[in-house]
Structure 1
């Protein structure tokens, strides 16, 4: 069985599918170009939120779309920690932090 990827036919039109690109919005607490602290704070806040409210508590990971007529009102009132840390933090960092949390040596209090 071959594991090679088939060559694309240059004469065949490429089918593209639209996707929604969503990233963390502006946070006045982190006004600088370096968003490392923004990433860290949202990772910690997300895990504090799910520990306090449970995995099924939607506001911890809620993502609102711009199509909602009251987007700004709702989005400003609801934490979007999951969206922020997933879009700001490199996966290698969050994987390491997940491992540290599981091992009990994460450098922040989450209770």
Structure 2
């Protein structure tokens, strides 16, 4: 993993502005970063690469999403009933 990415993750405090979600309601931003994290993990693990770069997405969704949503989505992933495409 590049030093620049490691430095960004190390200095991470809260989710940065994302032009795809300019409004104050960050629900879609939360959900999209949750999906991006799991897609990134799935993709890199399939290629036998280190999934460490995916950590950025996890930190963003953890700072944006309510814990209850994440727990519910994680349970749905385990049960195979999650509605998102990963």
Q: TM-score, normalised by structure 2?
A: 0.78
Question: Deviation per CA, 1:52-79, whole angstroms, max 9, x where unpaired?
Answer: 1139411100xxxxxxxxxxxxxxxxxx
Q: Which has the higher helix share?
A: 2
Unaligned 5+ residue runs, structure 1? 1-19, 62-79
In the alignment, the residues of structure 1 paired with residue 72 and residue 50 of structure 2 have an alpha-carbon distance, to the nearest angstrom, of 24
Matched, 1:95 2:86: no
Aligned residue pairs, count: 73
Matched, 1:104 2:80: yes
Matched, 1:52 2:43: yes
Q: TM-score, normalised by structure 1?
A: 0.61
Q: 1:43 aligns with which of 34, 45, 69?
A: 34
Task: Work out which of the two has the higher radius of gyration on C-alpha atoms and give 1 or 2.
Answer: 1
RMSD, aligned α-carbons = 1.7
